[in-house]
Structure 1
Amino acid sequence: MSNVAPPLPPGDLDPYRPEALEDPYPLYARLREQGPATYEPERDIWLVPGYAEAAAVLRDHRSFVSGDGATYESALGRTERYPLIETDPPEHTRIRRAVQPPFARAEIEHLRPGIEAAATEIVDGALARGEVDAVPDLAQPMPDRAMALLTGLVPPSCQALVDWSDAVVRAQEPGADPRHGELLGAALAWMIGEGIPGLPAHCLGRLITDEGGTTGGLHAEGPERLMTLASIWLAGVDSTGALLGNAIDAFTEFPDQWELLRARPDLIGNAVEELLRFEAPFRVFYRRTRAQAQVGGVAIPAGATVCAVLGSTGRDPRQFADPDRLDVTRENARTHLALGTSIHLCLGAPVARLEATAMLTELTRRVARFERTGDAVRSPSGTMRKFDTLPVRLVPAGGRA
């Protein structure tokens, strides 16, 4: 007797349906029941929802390549490329090696004082207001400040940076609005005209654009240096903002876990990993095949678009016990795939972890609980799992603001 569930109707498999974007987890569970890989004909994509199978796809860069595109839309023929995610070895090795040293633990530690000061200032402002929209008041300001500290780029406003970062992924989604392409063009134009000329000395932005990274390996001709810096800068905003917004929502849903974290601040580092598992900021990541390949015994044809459903992998009960519950003590939380794995493990992961740790540390010291004050609105993005609005009341700890 087969353990594979009966096939779902094609339309029911589509992870970009509005109802699936609002609450994707029922669909993810049904997809995992279908087997290791399921073909969705309306999108012409192969969906890989299980933890073990998605990890195998992401780790096998020879069979499942990034150079043809890591998003829904193919990168072939596109004028702008993101060198860190849309290349394969040996090009990827050269590019990654040029920018990896500044992300070593000791180097990132130099950012800690500035990031912790930013967390204090952001929470000060939010507590002074009491009732806030956690997206613009708590989640978005932190990556804006952190990316300025890291890269040296100071955008015209936090909102401009948020819009530009959102456009990076939205421009490559199904039925993309031309406005997103225009916003992406505006971001690159600002970098060329104002951002890079205004960089301070001895910052990551200068290292990349003037010197080609620590090895000098980035090509001086063409857009490689520009797009490498843009990748680091813009990708670091949307993902961390999503993580922080999702975190506040999760602790509103699971107040017992917030109380535990306040009592046990030593758990904050593990809580960050659990939050990434529970609500992966990136719902999906793509690979392409150039020859026939296999996923869990399922034959994938050459020229296929393969979607690792990261949002599903964190809820796979084969990897995580009781996966629909937030548990800040979860022992294997760090095994999540939310930040990628293998050669494409997120370069900025140490910065994202530092930002989230600083914000949670400050919030646990000063906020007793979060209370919903209105309806939260999820972003319609098919790539990012994040909020557009998240109205909450911050109840100060011990009567202090």
Structure 2
Amino acid sequence: MVDLAFTAEPTDLDPYSPQAQRDPHPYYDRLRELGPVVHVPERDVWLVAGHAEAVRVLRHHAEFVSGDGVTFDVPTTRTERYPLIENDPPVHDRVRRAVQPSFTRNAIERLRPGVEAAAAAIAQDAVERGEFDAVQVVAQEMPDRAMTLLTGLTPPSAQTLADWSDATSRGEEPSGTQEHAAQVMEALTWLAGEGLPAMPAHCLGRSIVDDGGAGGGLEEGSQRLMTLASIWLAGIDSTGALLGNAIDAFVEAPDQWDLLRSRPDLIPNAVEELMRFGTPFQAFFRRTRAVTEIEGVEVPAGARVGVLLAAANRDPRRFPDPHRLDVTRENARQHVALGHALHVCLGSPLARMEVASLLTELTRRVARFERAGEALRSPSQTVRKFATLPVRVVRADGAPA
């Protein structure tokens, strides 16, 4: 075992520096070159950027625990934890078993008619507009409608829900503010006071809150509320970011859009490649409770270990020519955009259905995406997404937009 990891000079490899945030992939490339894990003393984080190393950390949950926090900061203003991602076995397993039946293949397939109808309506609205902000018209609308179908919750608006979801991650970043914490509390207050009473019978929300999920595995009170909140809010920002990143990717790689239009059978694989290429959540954290090691590098007890999912998904040792979008990529599904092992994303089947359904409808209607103005990235330090993405579409039927 090596005694010390590579230690970066202060500010040299700060993952939250403006430069790293603005253009993360050259930063990730450099990080991987420095070794399997890099200690950045300025932030007191241990960063893992390689695919094999990321899988190792995510798989070994007893060494790299989630129960001490999975974000950079664990805010004191939030006293309740999110039961699915901020627990370790056996509590995590009990919580997951209670909600897993709603995410089986058969359960998600029952949502398909509603998801596909929503995708068709969103795609049609986009082509009729011709020129639009893809964030508002596409990326926010699709997960909003899908999560209503899944949970039974109908938020005040897609924009409000997007803002609440955004605040959930941003409040636990280095740049998190009291305003973000207040928005999270606003979301939870709305959920408990207005959202729950309005839910229809026989929806996921009712199953969780009224019955404690399958077998009553969820404890009454805050655990039920926070389980529903985590499913609901996490399913918005992740899928919305992915859809915005996908449209931008096809603006930059029109040949791949042409290929997808001519080969709709590639859509399922394209969904995996888009997750790899445009990974929404840049990192999740784990904590160590004892001295451990990553590929021979010693990591001390009490370390904050950042698993850089987006970096792992561009690791050339796993994905040849990783900075190129390739909807035919044979091993695209090996990405870790949705996590890995114990904490792999519970809602991944629904996310895949949303993206595939929307791609199917857009390939039928859109011949090409073009820029219609300056695209602006969100200031989020956790989720790589767009704040605005102005595009215009060339219609597949040749009609003027």
Structure 1 segments of 4+ aligned residues over 4 angstroms from their partners = 5-8, 75-78
- Structure 1 CA distance, aligned partners of 2:172 and 2:180? 9
The CA distance in 2 between the partners of 1:254 and 1:9, in whole Å, is: 37
Contact 1:18 1:380 in 2 (8 A): no
The aligned runs of 1:241-320 (5 Å cut-off) are 241-320=240-319
Match of 1:148 in 2: 148
- Cα deviation for residue 6 of structure 1 reads 8.5
Q: Secondary structure at the match of 2:155?
A: coil
Preserved contact between residue 283 and residue 308 of structure 2 (Cα < 8 Å): yes
2:83 corresponds to 1:83:
yes
Aligned match of 1:361: 360
Contact preservation (8 Å) 2:8, 2:41 = no
Aligned match of 2:191: 191
SS in 2 for 1:392: strand
Find the counterpart in structure 2 of residue 72 from structure 1: 72
Q: Could you tell me which runs of 5 or more consecutive residues in structure 2 were left unpaired when the two chains were aligned.
A: none
CA contact (8 A) 1:69 1:75 kept: no
Q: 3-state DSSP class of the match of 2:215? A: coil
Task: After TM superposition, give the deviation of residue 74 of structure 1 in Å.
Answer: 3.1
Instruction: Say whether the 8 Å CA contact 2:6–2:38 is kept in structure 1.
Output: no
Q: Which residue of 2 aligns with 1:237?
A: 236
Q: How does 1:1-400 map to 2 (within 5 A)?
A: 8-74=8-74, 78-220=78-220, 222-400=221-399
Shift, 1:78, TM fit: 4.3
Give the counterpart letter for 2:99 in structure 1. V
SS in 1 for 2:57: helix
Decide whether the 8 Å contact of 1:284 with 1:310 is kept in 2. Answer: yes
Distance 1:352 1:359 in 2: 11
Residue 175 of structure 1 deviates from its aligned partner by 2.6
How far 1:313 moved relative to its partner? 0.5
How far is 1:279 from its partner? 1.4
Q: 2-side partners of 1:215 and 1:395: how far apart?
A: 51
1:119 & 1:371 partners in 2: Cα distance? 20
**Offset at residue 296 of structure 1 (A):** 1.0
Sort the Cα spacing of 1:46 and 1:6 in 2 relative to 1 into closer, same or farther, 3 A: closer
SS at match of 2:285: strand
User: Aligned Cα RMSD in Å?
Assistant: 1.3
Contact preservation (8 Å) 1:53, 1:296: yes
Q: % of aligned pairs identical? A: 64
Cα distance, 1:96 vs. partner?
0.3
The CA deviation at 1:141 is 0.1
Change (3 A) 1:76 1:62: farther
- How far 1:76 moved relative to its partner? 7.6
**2:11 partner SS:** helix
In structure 2, C-alpha distance between the alignment counterparts of 1:235 and 1:77, rounded to whole Å = 19
Give the letter for the 1:65 counterpart: V
Amino acid at match of 1:16: Y
Alignment partners' CA distance in 2, 1:85 and 1:352: 17
Distance in 2 separating the partners of 1:186 and 1:74: 19
Residue identity matched to 2:257: W
In the TM superposition, residue 398 of structure 1 has moved relative to its aligned partner by: 2.4
Cα separation, 2, equivalents of 1:77 and 1:299 = 33
Report the alpha carbon displacement of residue 77 of structure 1 after superposing the two structures with TM: 8.4
Structure 2 CA distance for aligned equivalents of residues 75 and 298 of structure 1 = 30
Distance (Å, rounded) in 1 between the aligned partners of 2:306 and 2:118: 36
Hey, what's the Cα distance between the residues in 2 that align with 1:299 and 1:141? Answer: 45
After TM superposition, the score normalised by the length of structure 2 is 0.97
Report the CA distance between 1:128 and its aligned residue: 1.2
- Output the amino acid matched with 2:35: G
CA distance in 2, matches of 1:110, 1:257: 31
Residue 80 of structure 1 and its aligned partner are, at CA, apart by 2.2
Is the 2:8–2:38 Cα contact (8 Å) retained in structure 1? no
Specify whether residues 77 and 368 from structure 1 end up closer, same or farther in structure 2 by C-alpha distance, changes over 3 A only: closer
Shift of the 7–184 alpha-carbon distance from structure 1 to 2, 3 Å rule, reads: closer
Secondary structure of residue in 1 paired with 2:65: coil
Residues 312-369 of structure 1, C-alpha deviations (whole Å, 9 max, x = no match): 0011000000000000000000000000010100000000000000100000010000
- Quote the Cα distance in structure 2 between the aligned partners of 1:77 and 1:164: 16
Q: How many residues align?
A: 396
* C-alpha contact 1:69 1:76 (8 A) present in aligned 2: no
- The unaligned stretches of length 5 or more in structure 1 are none
Of 143-152 and 71-80, deviating more is: 71-80
User: For residues 334 and 357 of structure 1, what CA distance do their matches in structure 2 show?
Assistant: 14
What is the distance in 2 between the residues matched to 1:138 and 1:212? 33
Alignment partner of 2:216: what SS? coil
Separation in 2, partners of 1:74, 1:68: 8
Measure the CA separation in 1 of the matches of 2:78 and 2:158.
28
Shift, 1:129, TM fit: 1.1
Distance 2:83 2:6 in 1: 40
1:119, CA displacement in angstroms?
A: 0.8
| Separation of aligned partners in 2, 1:12 and 1:260 | 41
Q: Secondary structure at the match of 2:53?
A: helix
Is this contact kept in 2: 1:7–1:34, CA < 8 A?
Answer: no
| Matched letter for residue 393 of structure 2 | L
Q: Deviations over 1:211-238 (max 9, x none)?
A: 0001201001x41000000000000000
